[in-house]
Structure 1
Amino acid sequence: MRTAPWRDLDRIARPAVRALAGDLARAAHLLSPTEPPVVLDPDGTLLVTVGEDGQLWVLGPETGMPVRAFGDGGGVRGVRAAVFSADGGVLATADGEGLLHLWDVADGRVERTLTGTLRGVRLPAFDADRSVLAAAGDQETVHLWNLDTGIAMHALRHDGAQTVRAVAFSADGSLVATAGDDGTVRQWNPASGTARHTLTGHEGPVSAVAFSGPRLASCGEDGKIRVWDPVSGAAVTLMRTDSPLRCCGWSPDGRTLFAGGRGGLFGYDFHPGLTSR
């Protein structure tokens, strides 16, 4: 295991930090909720944040200085979350009024605005081929939209949870996982909207979920990191830390699992043969 406090993140190899990309940015926002969201694109070449004037800005990641603005200069108010698509071509932003805006990263203009029944929409997530978008709000339901048509597909109700804290798609788009404040992770078929598995074991709210090939990782306020077999729903591995965790993500090759929280950033070299009870 490798670990580093937040103040020492600049000492970690850049590829390792990029492995978490948006998850690290989301964790930083959770640790300082009064700050606007900051998100790094998949290539690690662009940072996007919201300025004091409410404008959505692209920053140079090396300098942190504004490069250009999104939109027409009118400001983007109340942005609660932002995420890039896997190819970096589209940025989704969620605001407190229940709106999701899809931005063309190349020209900085809104491609589409999605509306639904979400209250306090946040936590947007794209599937790998940018055909489906999922988003949760201040409630137990996650909504899915078909991005080719802009039409809502399904509402996934994470029963037992008051809020869903994280959403993630598998690489092939065949599964979507939701993390609830009831301590459970649920897996769904996004095409049909049906539940596949309910994964239990966390002792407190689950903060994040992340897929990597045949594995699903979750972490939570209990300081535990769990790895699951998403096909069977069986628990594979358990790691423990001494403080609440807010984000997790896999390295691009799937061999290292990172998790972060107030106690620092933790990195685990993953060995599928290890199991915990």
Structure 2
Amino acid sequence: MSYPAPKPKPPELPRVLQRRLDCNQGAVRAVRFNVDGNYCMTCGSDKSLKLWNPHKGTMLKTYSGHGYEVLDAAGSCDNSQLCSCSSDKTVILWDVAQGQVIRKFRGHAGKVNCVQFNEESTVIMSGSIDSSIRCWDCRSRRPEAIQIMDEAKDGVSSIKVSDHEILAGSVDGNVRRYDLRKGEMCADYLGNPITCVSFSRDAQCVLVSSLDSMLRLLDKGSGELLGEYTGHQNQSYKLDSCLSEKDTHVVSCSEDGTVCFWDLVEGSLALKLRVCKGVVQSLSFHPSEPYLLTASEGGVQVWTGESPEGESTATEG
């Protein structure tokens, strides 16, 4: 006779505080893993962008060139370049090794909230409070944007890029998806200001967080509502949310000092991780491991999966 296959282990969640990074950047506006999860970037209110090895807790390089606080950053597909955006209305392309500005892009009429590279890292997309998304050619010396998408009626708060699509969330309550191959734009109106958008790993679903303390999972093609997730607080701040590395859980920052994890299918709150007393404004999930970065109170917290026996875990609740 054959024995039944063992029941698969439940997905591991990053609930153990491994270390804290004292960033010395004022308020940390955003923390972002690079494409392979070996390094991360922190964006500071002191106008600086810093590169870290979070696994060892070491700061590798500081990039200074913005005239005001840095709000978002992203790494290129080969880790040779970074891009960042700021309240000074600019987008900067950086050489990682040299720590120098390669190109500075100007054209937005207000602060730039978010930046992303395309899949080949030849184009930077930026979303601004001026209600536009602008595309910048990294290889050209032309100073102007090569494309402007200005369908939003209010500020663009978040963008994500797949191989041929741009996903954008706006304060006007719309989630817009631009298909670059077909030259089409689809919009879904959710009724509340959008704070963060992201694709699932298979790019078939879209996760949207908004200022009604709600996260919604939508079918990308039809716009059908697949799930709703509540239990966190998001009524005043632009907070990050995402899906875990295997699309098993929804993860979100909260204004009550916690990070919440929900089971993707059941919608139940699986874990509420206590991070700080203030607002957890930014997070970044490792692309392939149960490894989480959170930003709050001027620093970054590094979270891993289950600890070996005898080690204590961070307080949950």
Q: Same fold (TM over 0.5)?
A: yes
Task: Quickly say closer, same or farther: Cα 1:238–1:96, change in 2 above 3 A.
Answer: closer
1:140 to partner: Cα distance: 2.4
Q: Distance in 2 between matches of 1:108 and 1:6?
A: 34
Asked if the contact 1:27–1:260 (Cα under 8 Å) also holds between the matched residues in 2, the reply is no
Aligned counterpart, 1:92: 125
The answer to whether 1:233 aligns with 2:267 is yes
Aligned counterpart, 1:194: 224
Could you tell which deviates more after superposition, 46-55 or 237-246? Answer: 46-55
Matched position secondary structure for 2:239:
strand
Q: Distance in 1 between matches of 2:289 and 2:79?
A: 18
Q: Which structure has the higher relative contact order (CA within 8 Å, separation 6+)?
A: 2
The answer to whether 1:41 aligns with 2:79 is no
Q: Distance in 2 between matches of 1:96 and 1:67?
A: 24
Q: For residues 120-161 of structure 1, what are the alpha-carbon distances to aligned partners after superposition, in whole Å with 9 as ceiling and x for unaligned?
A: 22311113xx2221212223222222122332112241x4x3
The percent of aligned pairs where both chains have the same amino acid is 18
Q: For residues 177-232 of structure 1, what are the alpha-carbon distances to aligned partners after superposition, in whole Å with 9 as ceiling and x for unaligned?
A: 11122221111111111211110010344711122222321112111111222233
The answer to whether 1:105 aligns with 2:138 is yes
The code of the aligned residue for 1:5 comes to D
Q: For residues 7-59 of structure 1, what are the alpha-carbon distances to aligned partners after superposition, in whole Å with 9 as ceiling and x for unaligned?
A: 299xxxxx967749888449988xx9952545232443222346999664322
Task: Quickly say closer, same or farther: Cα 1:117–1:203, change in 2 above 3 A.
Answer: closer
The code of the aligned residue for 1:57 comes to I
Matched position secondary structure for 2:24:
helix
Could you tell which deviates more after superposition, 229-238 or 107-116? Answer: 107-116
Task: Quickly say closer, same or farther: Cα 1:210–1:25, change in 2 above 3 A.
Answer: farther
Asked if the contact 1:164–1:180 (Cα under 8 Å) also holds between the matched residues in 2, the reply is yes
The code of the aligned residue for 1:121 comes to V
- Give 1:3-18 correspondences, 5 Å limit: 3-7=20-24
Task: Quickly say closer, same or farther: Cα 1:183–1:21, change in 2 above 3 A.
Answer: farther
Aligned counterpart, 1:12: none
Asked if the contact 1:21–1:39 (Cα under 8 Å) also holds between the matched residues in 2, the reply is no
Asked if the contact 1:47–1:61 (Cα under 8 Å) also holds between the matched residues in 2, the reply is yes
Task: Quickly say closer, same or farther: Cα 1:87–1:27, change in 2 above 3 A.
Answer: farther
Aligned residues: 259
The code of the aligned residue for 1:7 comes to N
The code of the aligned residue for 2:101 comes to P
Q: Distance in 1 between matches of 2:266 and 2:67?
A: 36
Aligned counterpart, 2:296: 261
- Structure 1 gap segments, 5+ residues each: 10-14
- Give 1:148-163 correspondences, 5 Å limit: 148-157=181-190, 159=191, 161=192, 163=193
Bigger fraction of residues in helix? 1
Q: Distance in 2 between matches of 1:88 and 1:224?
A: 33
Matched position secondary structure for 1:210:
strand
Asked if the contact 1:224–1:238 (Cα under 8 Å) also holds between the matched residues in 2, the reply is yes
Q: Distance in 2 between matches of 1:192 and 1:27?
A: 39
Q: Distance in 1 between matches of 2:46 and 2:189?
A: 27
1:240 to partner: Cα distance: 0.8
1:253 to partner: Cα distance: 2.3
Asked if the contact 1:23–1:249 (Cα under 8 Å) also holds between the matched residues in 2, the reply is no
